[in-house]
Structure formats: C-alpha cells, structure tokens
Chains A and B, each alone.
Chain A
Amino acid sequence: MKGKTVKICITSTGTSLDSNVDPRFGRCPYFIIYDTDTDTFEAINNASRQAMGGAGIQAGQLIASKNVSAVITGNFGPNAFRVLQTAGIKTYSRVSGTVKDAIEKYRNSQLTETSAPDVTSHYGVGRSN
C-alpha cells in the first residue's frame, strides 16, 4: 500500500450519496468508495451478495483490495470482521441514515470504532430493506 489512504467504504442501498447505509456488510447491494481528500466516489456493485455462503469473506477481500482505511455499515458478521481486522481496516457499525450523513459523521469523528462482530454468520442472508 502506498501512502496514507484517504478512502473509506460505506455499504449502500444505492449508487448515490443520498442512498441509505445498508445494514448488511457482506450482502449489501453496493459499496460506496469515498475519497475524503478529493470528495469523489465510486459505487461498486457487490457481486458477493449472491454468494451461497461466505459473502462477507469475499466482500471483505474486495474491500481490502480497494485500499480503504475504514468501513462504515450497519452490522458486521464474524467472518467479514476477521478479514477486515486482518487487513488493518477500521470498522464502524450500527450506522444508519444516508451515506452522505455517515460520511459527515465520520469526518466529525462522531463514529465509534467497532471492536467485535455485531451479528452471527448468515445474518444478512435473505434480508432486504
């Protein structure tokens, strides 16, 4: 990894900053990768959401490869949590509202880091908003 990363990842129900934060990490529809330096973002389709099992593991590796420093979501499962911890990515959970609001809260240091998984495996299976 080169330099200090300024990118963060937010799980999202849609592709814009007005979309809501998706409560699931592994099975959210989109990941918003937001660059806090340039204020630009890209929305990545989460192909892992259709995985039979291990969606969080696959998604965790994808996010780790995007060189982000933090992930903001509703809930982390144990498997995804382990991947993100190993990758040294900060984890923020129990976040709801719009993606835009979540980014603001992050900037203002209003989010507290998560130290443990929030839900058990398969929590996100079959759930939708």
Chain B
Amino acid sequence: MIISVASGKGGTGKTTVAVSFALAARYCQFIDYDVEAPNADIFLKPDIKNIKKVSIKQPYFLTDTGNDFSKCAEFCHYNAIAVIGSEVIFYPELCHGCGGCLLVGPEGAVREKDVVVGEVAKGFTTPGIDFLKGNLIPGSMRTTTLQNELEKMLNKSGLVIIDAPPGNSCSMVMSVKNSDYCILVTEPTPYGFNDLLISMEVLEGLKVPYGVIINRDGVGDSAIEDYCTERNIRVHLKIPNDIEIAKIYSQGGTLLDYDSSYGEKFGIILKVIERISIGEADNHN
C-alpha cells in the first residue's frame, strides 16, 4: 500500500506527518520525493549506504559540419535551441532531454551526451525503515527525472510512505499519482485552505482517495473543518499549535518525541486507511 503525504501550501507539516507514519509503522519504505529540498533524513536519520548518480541525455551540435540546424530550433517545444545563421545557441536549463532535435536535425550532426542532474540515496533506519531520497543539483530543472528514478525503486509489496514536495505542480503529481491514499496536510488559515482546495482538485482528477490532517490547530479559523464536514471529507487528526513541537522539530526531533501517544494515533490512522483502501470503510467522517 502506498500512502503519500502532500500539501498545497508549503511548511504545513508534510514531513512531520510522513515521518510520524513511518515511525508508527516501524516497517515500511519511506521515500522523500521532495528532491529539490529533501529533509526527512534529518528526522529519520537513516544510515545512507548507497548513492547512485542520475543523468539525462543532452544534445550538442556539430556546427563545423556546415549543416543547417534551424529545424532543431523550430521543433524544440521548450525553446532550448536558438539558431542564428550557422550558429547554434543551446540553453541546457530549458532542455527536457526529449531527443527530438536528433530526429529532425541533420543526420549525424546532432549528438547526445550524459549530464548528471542529481543523485538517489538509499539508507536504513531501525527497526525496519528503508529510506530513499533524491538530491537534485541546485539550478537543475529536472525534478521529475529524479522522481522517475525513485519511482523505479518503489517496493509495492509492503507499506510505502511518500513525502511529497509542496505545491500542486508536476513534481507533486509525480509523488501522489501511484498512491492508494493521500494525506493532505494543511493549516487552518485562508492560505492553507486555498491551497488545500487546489490539492483536492488535483487528487480528484487523479482519482486518488484522500483525507486531511490539520496542523497548527488553534490558529486561524474553522473554515477547513466546516468544509470537510460539509463534503464528508475525513479529517484524520488535528495537531495542536504548540511551540514545543517547533522546538523539538528544530532539533531534529519528531512528533513522537513531543508526545509518544502520536505513535499510537498514527498507527490507528494507518489501520483506517487500510480499511478504506480494501473497501471495508467509507472514506468519510
């Protein structure tokens, strides 16, 4: 079973919640899909043993052959190639590595080379958490390339917890699309509410069932809860707005360090999700 933890608004507590699930489950695979800013390792403290470089294909142009490369520029949907007379300007940061310029360009005059965009790291945390994360090279746009690499390493035979990147764009879709269930973490503020609605729309489009966890309960208003009650959307948990949680977090501690009963609370949520996904429970309050 794959459970992803996502949030439209950043900083609502995705990693806090995802880590709590992993610690409650004790035996699972944990994947940090936020390859632009992975941070779950700070809390799970895995023993990283295996690092694999990830590269993409990037074209280069043999301009001294005297060929006309204008077809490459015309074809490139991402405008990564400019052709001015006999000169070719290539913008690697815009290239998606599709290889189209090789197909439409002068035969043999467009070549490809491997360019490293990041790495995938594998580790282990006791008692039984297989940890995975991606590290994108700063400045690289190839977020989903790295996520594809993580996807290949998904171990669907057991429980998988995915910590998604913030937002609702491609990288979030990549993180949640294979899930059996998605937990949307939010905070009870207008900003949190607005971005939660966008996340819900994305998940409905992907047909991924979801529930909500409200973090920093006590700030803002009750608009999210009211909305969820009205629409029969399950609110699994409310985490209080307590400065102690922030203090422990800032030292690399977890919600279970704050209050060990959270281990049990997240264990119960896991059981509920399992029952929902096998159809024994309805996915609403």
Q: Interface of A with B (CB < 8 Å)? A: 48, 51-55, 57-58, 60-61, 64, 79, 82-83, 86-87
Residues of A within 8 A of B85 (CB): 87
A61 touches B94 (CB 8 A): no
Which listed residue (A54, A82, A86) contacts B78, Cβ 8 A?
A54
Which listed residue (B79, B82, B83) contacts A55, Cβ 8 A?
B79
Residue of B nearest to A52 (CB): B78
B94 touches A54 (CB 8 A): yes
Q: Mark B1-31, 1 if CB is under 8 A from A, else 0.
A: 0000000000000000000000000000000
Which listed residue (A51, A53, A54, A61) contacts B83, Cβ 8 A?
A61
A59 to B73, CA, bound (A): 12
Contact A57 B84, CB 8 Å, known A79-B91, A86-B89: no
Q: Interface of B with A (CB < 8 Å)? A: 73, 78-80, 82-85, 87, 89, 91, 94
B84 touches A61 (CB 8 A): yes
A82 touches B89 (CB 8 A): yes
A53 touches B78 (CB 8 A): yes
Residues of B within 8 A of A48 (CB): 79
A55 to B94, CA, bound (A): 11
B79 touches A51 (CB 8 A): yes
CB distance from B79 to the nearest CB of A (A): 2
Contact A61 B73, CB 8 Å, known A51-B79, A55-B79, A86-B84: yes
A52 to B80, CA, bound (A): 11
Contact A86 B87, CB 8 Å, known A53-B94, A54-B94: yes
B78 touches A60 (CB 8 A): no
A58 touches B84 (CB 8 A): no
Residues of A within 8 A of B82 (CB): 57, 60-61, 82-83, 86
Seed contacts A86-B87, A87-B85; 13 additional CB < 8 Å A-B pairs = A48-B79, A51-B79, A52-B78, A53-B78, A53-B94, A54-B79, A54-B80, A57-B89, A57-B91, A58-B79, A79-B91, A82-B89, A83-B89
